[in-house]
Amino acid sequence: MLFGSLTSVVMILVYRPELESPPMDKECTIGFSFIEEKGQPSNIKVTSGVNRDFPEAIWEKIKNYDYVKSLLKLGALRIEEEEKAVVAEASPSETDSLADMPVTQAMSLVENSFDVTQLRRWEGGEQRIRVINAINKRVAAISEGKG
């Protein structure tokens, strides 16, 4: 049973450490720490590849850091947005899909992903042969250590 749907924008943060200067390992992560209002620390970790549903509040905090600006300039970090329908009783396969994206954006996310599990989830909901082939090629590259 569906109660209706709304459109929301999901922030996607893509991190490609091999594009840094000097190049970093493809499994590198970036960590940011913050001191909250009550003195409590909080941390956010940006993993290499595609980071879906990246919190916009965190992006607002870090986007003006010199390091982040440098990564953006190098192309090692970039922001993409995805519009998706929010359904009251949506299954995970409906909310975690590339099907509603243009082919070029879907192909870019596949190319930038290092997570085989995520790639397989995307493949399950995909019907475009070009995107399915790109997913399989990416999974093979990661499995062979060429990713």
> What is the Cα 135 distance to its own chain's centre?
15
- Predicted TM-score (pTM) of this structure: 0.64
DSSP H or E stretch at residue 80: strand 77-87
pLDDT, tens digit (0-9, with 9 covering 90-100), for 47-105: 999 998 899 999 999 999 999 999 999 999 999 877 655 444 444 444 467 888 888 88
The secondary structure of residue 109, as a DSSP letter, is H
The predicted-structure confidence for 123-136, as pLDDT tens digits, reads as follows: 888 888 898 899 99
Is residue 76 within 8 A of residue 15, CB to CB? The reply is yes
From residue 10, alpha-carbon distances to 28, 60, 79, 141, 143 in Å are: 23, 15, 10, 27, 29
